[in-house]
Amino acid sequence: MNLIQQNQRSLERREETGCGLGPQEMENQLPEVPLFKVFSFLDAGSLLQVGQYWNKVAEDERLWRNLCLKRWDFCNFSCQQLGTQTWKQYFLDQTKCEHRMALAQREDFHYKEATGNLGILEHMAYLSGSGHPVTGQEKSVICTVSSKRMLYAWDVQEGTVIWSSPVQPYSLKLLATLPQVHLAFTVDLKGTVKVWTCQDEDALATFTVSKACFSLEAFLTKDGPFLMVGNSEGDIYTLTVPELRTVSKVNAFKYCVELLHCSPDKKWIFACGIHQHILPKIFWVESLLRPSEDESPLSVALPFPWCCGAGWAPRRANRITVMYRRGSFRKTGFTTFDLTIERPGGRAVIQAHQITHFLLPVGMESPIWMGVSDRNVIVFASGPSLFLFTISGSQLQRCDNHQMSICYLWVDRLHVLTTSMDNSMHMYMWEEEGRCPCLKSCCHLEQVRSDFLPSCFLSRAICDNKSIVCVVSRSRESSILEREACSSAFHGLCCPECTVEPTWTSS
C-alpha cells in the first residue's frame, strides 16, 4: 500500500469515528455532559472562544453563574433576582464596570460637601451595590456608624444621607452588613446587638450579650443568614437573622475574641484574640449551626500565639494564611494551612496541614494590615510601602505610592486600597496574567490642603465595582466622606466644620 492509499484509508477511519469532523459536526457527535465538565474548567475568555463552535454548551447558564461566583462573592443570588438578564450578560457587564474603574482619569472625580453635624464616621460597609448590582441601575449604598451614636445609610452616587437611626443609648462599636438581604448589624458599648433594614426607624431585633463585644461577622449559607459575635470572655454566639435567636454559644478562649473571619464558602470560621496565651482556632461552621448536646463543636487550634491577622484564599476556601508576632522583638511571620475533615474511627476531626511559613526580614516595620490573593500571594503594608510576598517568603513586588505610613489596607478579589496619614488614597487591581500575580497601580488621590497637617484619625477606604468610598477624619468632631463612582463622578462629603477645599489628582 503506497502513501496515498495509506492517507486515504486514514481519512476514511477518521470519518467513521468522527475524528475528522468539523466543530459544528462534533457538537452533534459529542455528548453534552462530558463537554460541560470540560468547559467548567475554562475561564471566560476561553469559554467565549469555544462558544463559536460549541455554542449550545458554552452558553449554558450554569457555566456562567459558576464564573460569576468564582469572581464575585455577592453573586450568590437566585435567577429570579437576575430578571431577564442572563448570567453571561451579567458577567460581561460586571467586567466592563471593573475595566472602567481601572481606567479612571482625573476628570472622573469631583468633590461635594455634606450638610449636618455627622460627627466622626467610623466603621463602614456596603449595604447594597456590592450585593445585587444585577441590572447595573442599582445604586451603591453604604452604612457608617458615627460618634453621634447613630447609624447612617448613604447613597454613594448622590452623596447624600438617605436614612439614619435614632440616637442610641451607647456608642456603636461594631458594624457588619449582609448586602444579599439588605441588612445591617451594630453592636454598642454595652454589648447590645441590633439588626436594621436601614429603611424603618426601629431595629428589627435586639440581642444583648452579657459582656462587651469585640468581633462581629455576618454571613449567608445555604440554610440562610447568620450572625456571629465574640465577646470579652472568649464566648462566640451564633445567632439567626433577622430574629437574633441563639443557635449556639461556645467558649473559645479565656480572653476576648478579637477577630472572627468566615471562609469564602462559609464552611469555616477563624477566631482569635491578640494575646500571648491564645492559640487561634478554626471552627467547622456546620457544628456551630447544628450544635450537639453530647459533643463540642469541631475545631482545631493553630500553634501560633500572638495572632494579629488572617486571610482566606478566595478560590481555595480551605486555605488560610495567618499573620503572627514572635520573639521579644515581636518579629512578624506568616504561616499557611490547608484544612481537611478526616474521620478516623468514624469520628470527624479537623486537620490543619501547615504548608509553609516565614519571618519578615530584620529591620522591616511590622505590618498591621494584610490580605491574601489567589495563587499563594500575601499583600501587606509596612511603613509607607505596600509589599507582595509569596506564602513561602519570596518578595514579588514593592509599591511606594505614599509619602507617609499606610494606615489602612482593604483587599478583595479584584482591588487593593491603601490610605495614609496624609489623607491620600491609592487604588490597585490584581493582575494574574503571567507566571506570578502582581498589582496594577490604577489611581492616586491626594488632598491638597493649606495646613498640611496629617489626619488625627485613621482614614479608611472600601470599594465595589462602581464606587470607591474613603472616610477622612479631620478633628474630634468631623469627618469627610469621599467617593468615586464609575459614572464619571467622584463624590466627597464633609461636615460644616471641614472648611478646607480639597483638590484631587489622579495618576
**pLDDT score of 497 more than 80:** no
Pairwise CA distance, residues 142 & 493, whole Å = 13
Geometric angle at alpha carbon 412, from 409 and 418, rounded to 5°: 20
Pairwise CA distance, residues 183 & 175, whole Å = 11
Which contiguous run of DSSP H or E holds residue 418?
Answer: strand 415-420
Pairwise CA distance, residues 247 & 239, whole Å = 5
- DSSP letters, 246-314, are EEEEEE--SS---EEEE-TTSSEEEEE-SSTT---EEEEHHHHHS--SSSPPPEEE-S--SEEEEEE-T
Which contiguous run of DSSP H or E holds residue 200?
Answer: none
Pairwise CA distance, residues 98 & 203, whole Å = 35
Listed range (8-22, 70-84, 284-298) with the worst mean pLDDT: 8-22
Pairwise CA distance, residues 431 & 441, whole Å = 10
Listed range (21-30, 101-110, 370-379, 388-397) with the worst mean pLDDT: 21-30
Q: What tens digit of pLDDT does each residue of 389-414 get?
A: 999 999 999 999 999 999 999 998 88
Q: What is the pLDDT of residue 111?
A: 56
**Average model confidence (pLDDT) for the chain?**
80
Q: What tens digit of pLDDT does each residue of 276-304 get?
A: 888 999 999 999 999 988 889 999 999 99
Strands 349-359 and 331-342: antiparallel
Q: What is the pLDDT of residue 481?
A: 59
- Asked if 249 and 233 touch (Cβ cutoff 8 Å), the reply is no
**What are residue 415's DSSP bridge partners?**
429
Which contiguous run of DSSP H or E holds residue 463?
Answer: strand 460-463
Q: Where are the alpha helices (DSSP H) in 270-371?
A: 285-289
* Residue keyed to cell 474613603: 470
**pLDDT score of 458 more than 50:** yes
Higher per-residue confidence, 151 vs 107: 151
**pLDDT score of 248 more than 70:** yes
**pLDDT score of 11 more than 50:** no
- Asked if 72 and 98 touch (Cβ cutoff 8 Å), the reply is no
Q: What tens digit of pLDDT does each residue of 114-131 get?
A: 556 788 888 999 998 544
**pLDDT score of 485 more than 60:** no
Pairwise CA distance, residues 247 & 261, whole Å = 18
Strands 235-240 and 121-126: unpaired
Residue 150 binned pLDDT confidence (cut-offs 50, 70, 90): very high
- Asked if 488 and 109 touch (Cβ cutoff 8 Å), the reply is no
Higher per-residue confidence, 77 vs 231: 231
Q: What is the pLDDT of residue 217?
A: 97
Q: What percentage of residues in the chain have a pLDDT greater than 70?
A: 74
Listed range (105-109, 152-156, 239-243) with the worst mean pLDDT: 105-109
Which contiguous run of DSSP H or E holds residue 138?
Answer: none
Pairwise CA distance, residues 346 & 342, whole Å = 9
**pLDDT score of 110 more than 70:** no
Q: What tens digit of pLDDT does each residue of 334-360 get?
A: 999 999 999 887 789 999 999 999 999
Q: What is the pLDDT of residue 495?
A: 31
- Closest by alpha carbon to 216, among 205, 230, 226, 203? 230
